[in-house]
Amino acid sequence: MLRSQFINNLRRSTRSFSTSLLASSDSTPASLGFQLSEDQLNIQNTARQFARDVIIPAAPHHDKTGEYPTEIIKQAWELGLVNTHIPSEYGGLGLGVFDTALVSEQLAYGCSGIQTAIEANGLAEAPVILAANDAQKKKYLGRMSEEPLMAAYCVTEPGAGSDVAGAKTTAVKKGDKWIVNGQKMWITNGGKANWYFLLAKTDPAANAGKAFTGFIADADSPGITVGRKEWNMGQRASDTRGITFEDVEVPDENRLGDVGQGFKIAMGAFDITRPLVASGAVGLAQRAMDEAAAYSVQRKTMGKPIVAHQAVAFMLADMAIQIEASRMMVWRAGWLRDQNKRNTYYASIAKALASETANKCASDAVQIFGGNGFNSEYPVEKLMRDAKIFTIYEGTSQIQRLIISRTIAEAAMQGQ
């Protein structure tokens, strides 16, 4: 009952906000300002308070033990901070990418591992939102709004990370079912998911654009084997596993879109989720700067706080420059997507810039902390470990540069 009342109130406020932000006509596109609305600030503050009151105190435990933050996710779900972009007709808030980025940044400020576990739902749901029919959305998005379930995006394979076209998992049509065989790897929420978005090759002879089809696979389907939880450098609260499919039957009614459209659907999801990964990186970077700034006014050397030394002060200034620039790119990429405008170029810039900002800010925070920064009793060493994955998952920084450079080259060749 409490969740229902809270969500209804939040949905009313966000609906009025989204209408005012996104309303546009062909001749008069909506404008974007830098002042957040009162409703938007309420969403942001809810996430900020939750991160500080609930996530930050619990984060060291989950980092040390690798325990999945089930209870924290349940609390976040109760507050409407999970599955934020599920449309309202399927029980969600229907937030846009811009709004959701505000939430993701605050959650990652608390712990990017916990934020990744939460945001992995959004990645799995994005292809469903983009390509599913009404019955599929009611069944799979609806259940995510009814109880705190998890989902996972099953695309990466042991030999196919950045090279998604090299994926070897197959789906063969037999009657009204598809028989799936293959292995997926590095699947976030792999061992906790209720269902998977699955990309499988349905036409080995076709090019990548037509070779794959997307499916929704129930996690309890016979033939699915969940691997061990991987012990990673950072973001240890996140559940990352390999998933093996052995003669798994997926009904044709669980196929997303037309046969052969899976690659397009899977890549289209990144235009939604890459700005959100970038917003998580901004949250981590902001935390690193805040921790470093607080330490720099307390720690004294040579008779004065280290912040009074230009070498340290300029490191903080560089952090601020990078964070503010990254946040603006997140906002632009999110806003464009919410306007139904192509944002791939800006999403890649946001992802590359913010992920590298997170790594630089975390590294510099450790440097400002000195020997203490290298010790696990202080928060910044965890930030440094957590930051690294931002340059790898959902498209490496090199892949983002490939997308950016190709866009520049195409525009140049067209004389634009």
Is 89 assigned a catalytic role?
no
Q: How far apart are CA 235 and CA 120, in angstroms?
A: 13
- Return the SS3 of 28: coil
- List, in sequence order, every residue forming a beta bridge with 198; answer none if it has no partner: 154, 215
Helix (H) or strand (E) holding 112: helix 112-131
Q: Which residues pair with 188 in a beta bridge?
A: 240
AA identity, residue 253: E
Residue 104 and residue 49 in contact, taking contact as beta carbons nearer than 8 Å: no
Q: Rounded to 5 degrees, what angle do the CA atoms 305, 310, 311 make?
A: 100
Catalytic residue among 125, 291, 381, 394: 394
At 209 the three-state DSSP class reads helix
CA atoms of 334 and 330, how far apart (whole Å):
6
**What tokens appear for 68 in the block?**
């999945």
Distance (Å, rounded) from C-alpha 200 to C-alpha 380? 40
> How many C-beta neighbours within 10 Å does residue 190 have?
26
Q: Which residue has the tokens 């203490």?
A: 372
Q: Which 3-state string (H, E, C) describes 269-294?
A: HHHHHHHHHHHHHHHHHHHHHHHHHH
Rounded Cα gap, residues 10 and 80, in angstroms = 8
What amino acid occupies position 368?
A: I
Q: Which residues are catalytic?
A: 394
